[in-house]
Amino acid sequence: MADLSVRNRYFDDLFSTPDLAWMGQNTNHIPAHPAVTAAMTASIEAGEFNAYAPPLGFEELRAAIVADVGVPGLEALVTEGGVNALSLICRARAKPGTTLVTTDPTWKWPCQFAEQQGAEVVQTPIYGPETGYKLTPELLRAHIDGRCAILYLVDPNNPLGVTYTAGEIAEFAAIAKEFGALLVHDCTYRDFAEAHTPAVSVDADNAVCTLSFSKWLGLAGMRIGALVGNPALIAELAAVSTSVLGGNVVAQRGAIAGLKVKAEWMDTVRRIDLANKEKIKAAAEAIGMSVPVWPSHGNFIIVETAGVRPEAIVEAARLDGVMIRQGAYHTAAFGDRFIKVSTTVPKAWADKLAANFAAYVETAKGLTDVPALF
């Protein structure tokens, strides 16, 4: 609990920092599409929040999510963020004697959910140019066996920004099937990828996709995401959902509006995101640091810090009102090498970070007292 309180205060302090530049959690701070704000405001004004949403989500939203994934015959379960879709998958499938196989780096929370069910987590290291910072079928085969209940693939990977081809997804799906594991394709960042193949389009019998409205649409604080799969899998997984009274009504109205304007909105988001990425990459390279994965298919990049302690750089930036993330948040094995910077932010925030990056690194070199970071 002590740790939890410290962690809570850390985020509470960030929240109350005036004009904080949120550039650490891959959230989207580009001013929302007016249609999305209008839909949520109208919902609030109509008092819709007085009622519970349908337990699986509004039918209009469920249909729009499946249409967006583009695989007919599937169903969607609307969840309170993608994180809760992942949590209920782990509750349904992970148990003592099973494994959750994933990459290193990966997104850490599903690993914790699986461990809470008594499962073991097996991580396949992918950090390095040898495999282009990607999982390969050979690497996967070296880490998976008949105990595997869940193959958890984050694609695009957070924090690396790599994505997988249709052929690679098909190979991973075949391996998951061979070992009797459910392929859980975490598609949180799919809308930032140049091309993306949801695993449910390759093997709907044995794969589910988790989705988020936090990153592409900017609804992180509204808590809305989804799980997409075949009707039998959705029925099995929905049966262990704790959100039996439905998700956030206002968020669902925003999500419906967002899906309607998605193409236009993402054009804007991608343009701003790319310009921010290029600017921050240039600032890092100007002081001898490198961006090992380029282009990144997520709304973030990693910067290798050339021996400067990532935590110290994060703290130096925080002191100037800029939140970025230390690699250790994602990976114990490789976390001392990099920081991660989220780029779906107003241009002014990226300008500030780029202009001050060299100074943060200089400050970091002299910092001896770095508090706990989360």
Ligand X SMILES: Cc1ncc(COP(=O)(O)O)c(C=O)c1O
212: which strand partners?
225
Q: Which residue is nearest to ligand X (CB)?
A: 81
Does position 155 interact with ligand X (CB under 6 A)? The reply is no
What is d(CA 249, CA 25) in angstroms, rounded to the nearest whole number? 24
x/- letters, 45..84, toward ligand X (CB under 6 A): ------------------------------------xxx-
Q: Which of 21, 26, 150, 233 binds ligand X (CB under 6 A)?
A: 26
Instruction: Say which amino acid occupies 233.
Output: L
What minimum distance in Å lies between the beta carbon of 337 and ligand X?
19
341: which strand partners?
301
Instruction: Give, as ranges, the residues between 4 and 23 that touch ligand X (CB under 6 A).
Output: none
329 or 364: whose CB is closer to ligand X? 329
125: which strand partners?
104
Does position 188 interact with ligand X (CB under 6 A)? The reply is yes
The DSSP secondary-structure symbol of 31 reads P
Q: Which of 28, 99, 214, 342 binds ligand X (CB under 6 A)?
A: 214
206 or 210: whose CB is closer to ligand X? 210
225 or 327: whose CB is closer to ligand X? 225
Cis amide prior to 72 (ω within 30 degrees)? no
Instruction: Give, as ranges, the residues between 276 and 295 that touch ligand X (CB under 6 A).
Output: none
What minimum distance in Å lies between the beta carbon of 45 and ligand X?
26
Please say whether the dihedral angle defined by the alpha carbons of residues 124, 130, 132 and 138, taken in this order, is positive or negative.
negative
Rg of the chain over CA atoms, in angstroms?
Answer: 20
What does the block give as tokens for 134?
């990607």
What number of chain residues touch ligand X (CB under 6 A)? 13
Q: Which of 23, 77, 89, 154 binds ligand X (CB under 6 A)?
A: 154
Q: Identify the CA nearest to 199 among candidates 65, 69, 62, 64.
A: 69
What does the block give as tokens for 336?
């001392």
Does position 212 interact with ligand X (CB under 6 A)? The reply is yes
What is d(CA 227, CA 223) in angstroms, rounded to the nearest whole number? 14
Q: Quick one: residue 246, left, alpha or beta (phi over 0 = left, psi -120 to 50 = alpha)?
A: left
Cis amide prior to 105 (ω within 30 degrees)? yes
Does position 343 interact with ligand X (CB under 6 A)? The reply is no
What minimum distance in Å lies between the beta carbon of 369 and ligand X?
28
Does position 107 interact with ligand X (CB under 6 A)? The reply is yes
Q: Which of 75, 104, 186, 304 binds ligand X (CB under 6 A)?
A: 186
CA 53 to mean position of chain CA atoms? 25
Q: Which of 225, 246, 247, 335 binds ligand X (CB under 6 A)?
A: 225
Does position 161 interact with ligand X (CB under 6 A)? The reply is no
159 or 292: whose CB is closer to ligand X? 159
Does position 102 interact with ligand X (CB under 6 A)? The reply is no
Let me know: does 26 contact 189? Beta carbons within 8 Å. Answer: yes
What does the block give as tokens for 372?
């706990």
What minimum distance in Å lies between the beta carbon of 37 and ligand X?
19
Q: Which of 158, 163, 299, 342 binds ligand X (CB under 6 A)?
A: 158
What is d(CA 321, CA 190) in angstroms, rounded to the nearest whole number? 29
What minimum distance in Å lies between the beta carbon of 133 and ligand X?
15
SS3 label, residue 1: coil
Q: Identify the CA nearest to 221 among candidates 327, 80, 110.
A: 80
What minimum distance in Å lies between the beta carbon of 8 and ligand X?
17
Please say whether the dihedral angle defined by the alpha carbons of residues 108, 259, 191 and 10, taken in this order, is positive or negative.
negative
What minimum distance in Å lies between the beta carbon of 150 and ligand X?
14
For binding to ligand X (CB under 6 A), which residues are involved?
Answer: 26, 81-83, 107, 154, 158, 186, 188, 212, 214, 220, 225
